[in-house]
């Protein structure tokens, strides 16, 4: 982090986005392993009645939803820590410079949200997680910028 004209330049947004993608890739293995396990269980499922298959699909959907919620909450905790560190690092600057710094992070986050929403080559689960995490970042930054503007 370097100080240029009283404003800290940093790549927190890039770091947060890259960190989110890297961490999400770790959890993608769970999804892939789940798919491999599902293929192994296909012969067993064919033996079950259609009611049991529907029940298994519902259970799997519920499990995936719970895992997604857990992932999003874990990301939110980590992101909140990163944003708190950012706010701590810029609190000695003027309000205008704090707003500029937060806006420098907000702009790439907004563009990442738009990119992810338009991509079709991302799995629905991954897309949902990334969008929820990025929207959490956006909401926190918007909130902090609004607080700074009100206290100005």
Give 91-146 pLDDT, tens digit per residue.
999 999 999 999 999 999 999 999 999 998 999 999 999 999 999 999 999 999 99
Q: Count CA within 13 A, CB hemisphere, residue 83.
A: 25
Tokens linked to 51: 């009611």
How crowded is the C-beta side of 45, counted as CA atoms within 13 Å? 13
* Confidence (pLDDT) at 109: 97
Beta strands in the chain (DSSP E): 2-4, 7-9
- 41 pLDDT band, cuts 50/70/90, is low
What is the rounded average pLDDT of the residues 72-82? Answer: 96
pTM: 0.64
Which class in CATH covers the domain with range 11-151?
mainly alpha
Band of pLDDT at residue 51, cut at 50, 70 and 90:
confident
Evaluate if residue 3 carries a pLDDT over 50: no
Secondary structure of residue 109 in the 3-state scheme: helix
Q: Which residue has the higher pLDDT, 2 or 55?
A: 55
């Amino acid at each position: 982090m370097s100080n240029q004209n009283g404003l800290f330049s940093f790549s927190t947004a890039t770091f947060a986005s890259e960190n989110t993608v890297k961490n999400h890739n770790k959890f993608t293995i769970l999804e892939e392993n789940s798919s491999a396990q599902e293929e192994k269980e296909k012969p067993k499922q064919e033996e079950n009645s259609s009611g049991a298959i529907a029940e298994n699909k519902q259970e799997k959907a519920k499990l995936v939803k719970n895992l997604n919620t857990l992932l999003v909450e874990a990301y939110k905790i980590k992101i909140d820590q990163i944003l708190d560190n950012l706010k701590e690092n810029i609190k000695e600057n003027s309000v205008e410079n704090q707003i500029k710094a937060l806006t420098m992070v907000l702009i790439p986050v907004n563009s990442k949200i738009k990119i992810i929403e338009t991509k079709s080559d991302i799995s629905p689960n991954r897309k949902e997680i990334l969008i929820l995490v990025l929207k959490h970042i956006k909401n926190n930054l918007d909130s902090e910028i609004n607080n700074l503007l009100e206290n100005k």
